[in-house]
């Protein structure tokens, strides 16, 4: 799908005025934030686990090639096939080729951000296949033709009324007088519709939360069990995954699993944690006949060795966006691409380019809450800052910002001129503002005064008064 991140400012403005979105985001914040806090309060070693996770992933990233090759060897040993995709295009084509070879028509899909990133569904449809999302949130937004707005809760931007509207519009074979009020009403209906699809599928595509080099296994973590039905029922199981997911051993993965669910939803563990190792073996009662892993790079290896490398430690928990006040104000769609929130601001410029994504690392106050809650200790504001430097150097930022900062810096670097300008400017503003103490509007300050009054300065600058009256200022 074409990134819309360049539209960020307009999209954000629409989002802050969207009352339904605001309600949905309010629920999200209360849910995810409180649940996470409650669960990690019960785990005294949580901070130690974060440090262990950080060191573990750093070690992997320093040896990424070796671990990926080991993973490949183990997958092949267990009868699977690994496909290396440098670009989104190569990844799409690899999946389509597998589906073609399998003579597939219906393809079920578990939730995969990477599959969204490479635009897999559009490509499969164009190639004549029918992809069906099975994760409930992804299924709902597929019906609505929307993008996910959150990496673990793709339909978080919707209220129950929105979902009811969508189900009634699309599930026309069901009784129009049926009740759709409580959560079980929705999940049972989705289950009914999807059950048939699961059984029809020729190919099942899932993502992977982790890849285990030691055993050649992939892991998915779900609460609905849709991943299991997606990968076990069809003849062919395809895992689409990014290269940064590989972890050395099962033991290592257990460390990350202890961090993941707690950080994401406040569960100690998700309902289903499923490992897949190769296709069905002789004697196995069920399982796919073919097991494929498509490893997607799409710009990630280029981040190694740069100041943005640490984004590759991400385990896709979503804690950063759950706690981000900017995401909390605008939701995920305003970011205009698959990965929103602070991790999006740190990652997307590396994937879709600095120019397309330039607003994302700028639309942050660097409050640091994201870094505080990230289970992998990713220094998200620091990485956003790195992209800002890159933008400034490559002149991606609008000229008026560069000129504005250049103008300001000219004075800030020349104390005597600065003092003179400050005394004059603040003196004038102080005099003008003395009566009311503030300005409702002010030339050149429209962006401020659109929503806030501008407090008047006291009038004399500190440095001028200090020179005149010394330390008392009187």
Partner 1 sequence: MPTSQTRPTSTPRVGLFVTCLVDLFRPSVGFAAIALLERAGCTVEVPPSQTCCGQPAWNTGDVKDTRAIAEAVIEAFEGYDFVVAPSGSCAGMLKEHYPRLFVDDPAWAPRAAHLAARTHELVSFLVDQRGLERVEDVALSAQVTYHDSCSGLRELGVKAQPRRLLASIPGLSLTEMSTPETCCGFGGTFCVKYPDISNRMVADKTADITATGADTLLAGDLGCLLNMAGKLKREGSAIAARHVAEVLAGRLDVPPIGDAPPR
The candidate with the shortest Cα–Cα distance to 132, out of 107, 164, 154, 105, is 107
Which of 89, 128, 225, 325 is in the footprint of partner 1 by CB under 8 A? 325
Q: Integer distance in angstroms from the first to the last C-alpha of the chain?
A: 64
Which CB atom, from 9 or from 38, has the smaller least distance to partner 1? 9
330 binds partner 1 (CB under 8 A): yes
Cβ neighbours, 10 Å, residue 99: 22
- Burial class from Cβ neighbours inside 10 Å (0-12, 13-18, 19+) for residue 447 reads exposed
CB proximity list for 64: less than 8 A, separation 6 or greater: 243, 244, 246, 301, 304
Which of 7, 59, 431, 434 is in the footprint of partner 1 by CB under 8 A? 434
Cα atoms in the Cβ-side hemisphere of radius 13 Å centred on 355: 3
Stretch of 110-118, 150-158, 259-267, 430-438 contacting partner 1, by CB under 8 A: 430-438
Greatest extent of the chain over all pairs of C-alpha atoms, in Å: 92
385 binds partner 1 (CB under 8 A): yes
What is the distance between the alpha carbons of residues 333 and 26, in angstroms, rounded to a whole number? Answer: 16
The least CB distance from residue 432 to partner 1, in Å, is: 12
Stretch of 64-72, 206-214, 226-234, 321-329 contacting partner 1, by CB under 8 A: 321-329
415 binds partner 1 (CB under 8 A): yes
338, 298 contact by CB (below 8 A): no
35 binds partner 1 (CB under 8 A): no
Q: Which two tokens stand for residue 107?
A: 């393809």
The least CB distance from residue 177 to partner 1, in Å, is: 40
390 binds partner 1 (CB under 8 A): yes
Which CB atom, from 18 or from 214, has the smaller least distance to partner 1? 18
426 binds partner 1 (CB under 8 A): yes
Length reported for the chain: 474
Binding pattern for the stretch 340-379 against partner 1, x by CB under 8 A and - elsewhere: ----------------------xxxxxxxx-xx-------
411 binds partner 1 (CB under 8 A): yes
Which CB atom, from 42 or from 471, has the smaller least distance to partner 1? 471
Please report where in the chains the tokens 């979503």 appear, as a residue: 318
6 binds partner 1 (CB under 8 A): no
Which of 389, 420, 424, 428 is in the footprint of partner 1 by CB under 8 A? 389
DSSP codes joined into one string, 384-395: HHHHHHHHHHTT
400 binds partner 1 (CB under 8 A): no
Please report where in the chains the tokens 């999302």 appear, as a residue: 133
The least CB distance from residue 17 to partner 1, in Å, is: 8
Classify residue 269 by its DSSP letter.
S
408 binds partner 1 (CB under 8 A): yes
What is the distance between the alpha carbons of residues 298 and 90, in angstroms, rounded to a whole number? Answer: 9
250 binds partner 1 (CB under 8 A): no
What is the distance between the alpha carbons of residues 118 and 360, in angstroms, rounded to a whole number? Answer: 20
The candidate with the shortest Cα–Cα distance to 363, out of 6, 116, 28, 18, is 6
Which of 1, 16, 73, 424 is in the footprint of partner 1 by CB under 8 A? 16
Cβ neighbours, 10 Å, residue 463: 13
Which CB atom, from 177 or from 435, has the smaller least distance to partner 1? 435
442 binds partner 1 (CB under 8 A): no
Q: Which two tokens stand for residue 129?
A: 């296949």
What dihedral angle (degrees, nearest 10) is formed by the CA atoms of 299, 303, 308, 313?
A: 90
305 binds partner 1 (CB under 8 A): no
Which CB atom, from 75 or from 156, has the smaller least distance to partner 1? 156
What residues line the site for partner 1 (CB under 8 A)?
Answer: 9, 12-13, 16, 325-326, 329-330, 362-369, 371-372, 385, 388-393, 397, 401-402, 405-406, 408-409, 411-413, 415, 418, 422, 425-426, 434-438, 440, 445, 447-448, 450-458, 460-463, 465-467, 471-474
């Amino acid at each position: 799908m074409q990134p819309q991140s360049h539209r960020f400012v307009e999209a954000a403005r629409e989002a802050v005025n969207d009352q339904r979105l605001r309600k949905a985001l309010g629920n999200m914040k209360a849910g995810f934030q409180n649940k996470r806090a409650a669960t990690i309060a019960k785990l005294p070693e949580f901070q130690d686990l974060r440090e262990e996770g950080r060191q573990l992933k750093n070690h992997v990233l320093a040896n990424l090639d070796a671990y990926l090759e080991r993973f490949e060897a183990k997958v092949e040993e267990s009868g699977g096939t690994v496909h290396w995709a440098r670009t989104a295009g190569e990844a799409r084509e690899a999946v389509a080729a597998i589906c073609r070879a399998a003579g597939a028509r219906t393809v079920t899909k578990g939730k995969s951000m990477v599959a969204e990133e490479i635009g897999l569904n559009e490509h499969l449809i164009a190639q004549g296949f029918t992809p069906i999302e099975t994760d409930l949130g992804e299924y709902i937004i597929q019906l609505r033709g929307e993008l996910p707005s959150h990496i673990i809760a793709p339909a978080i931007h919707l209220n129950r009324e929105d979902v009811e509207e969508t189900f009634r519009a699309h599930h026309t074979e069901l009784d129009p007088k049926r009740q759709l009020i409580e959560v079980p009403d929705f999940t049972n209906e989705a289950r009914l519709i999807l059950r048939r699809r699961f059984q029809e599928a020729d190919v099942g595509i899932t993502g992977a939360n982790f890849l285990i080099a030691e055993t050649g296994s992939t892991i998915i973590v779900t609460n609905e069990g849709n991943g299991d039905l997606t990968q076990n029922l069809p003849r062919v199981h395809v895992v689409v995954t990014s290269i940064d997911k590989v972890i050395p051993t099962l033991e290592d993965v257990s460390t990350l699993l202890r961090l993941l669910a707690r950080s994401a939803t406040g569960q100690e563990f998700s309902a289903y944690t499923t490992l897949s190792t190769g296709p069905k073996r002789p004697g196995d009662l069920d399982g796919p006949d073919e097991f494929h892993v498509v490893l997607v790079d799409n710009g990630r290896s280029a981040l190694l060795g740069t100041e943005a490398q640490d984004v590759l430690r991400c385990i896709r928990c979503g804690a950063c966006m759950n706690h981000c006040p900017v995401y909390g104000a605008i939701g995920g769609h305003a970011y205009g691409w698959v990965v929103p929130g602070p991790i999006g601001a740190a990652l997307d410029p590396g994937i879709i380019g600095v120019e397309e994504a330039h607003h994302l690392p700028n639309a942050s106050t660097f409050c640091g809450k994201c870094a505080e809650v990230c289970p992998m200790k990713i220094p998200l504001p620091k990485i956003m800052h790195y992209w800002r430097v890159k933008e400034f150097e490559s002149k991606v930022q609008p000229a008026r910002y560069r000129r504005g900062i250049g103008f300001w810096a000219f004075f800030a670097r020349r104390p005597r001129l600065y003092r003179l300008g400050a005394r004059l400017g603040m003196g004038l503003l102080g005099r003008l503002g003395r009566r009311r103490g503030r300005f409702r509007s002010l030339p050149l300050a429209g962006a401020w005064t659109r929503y806030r009054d501008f407090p008047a300065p006291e009038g004399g600058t500190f440095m001028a008064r200090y020179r005149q009256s010394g330390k008392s200022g009187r």
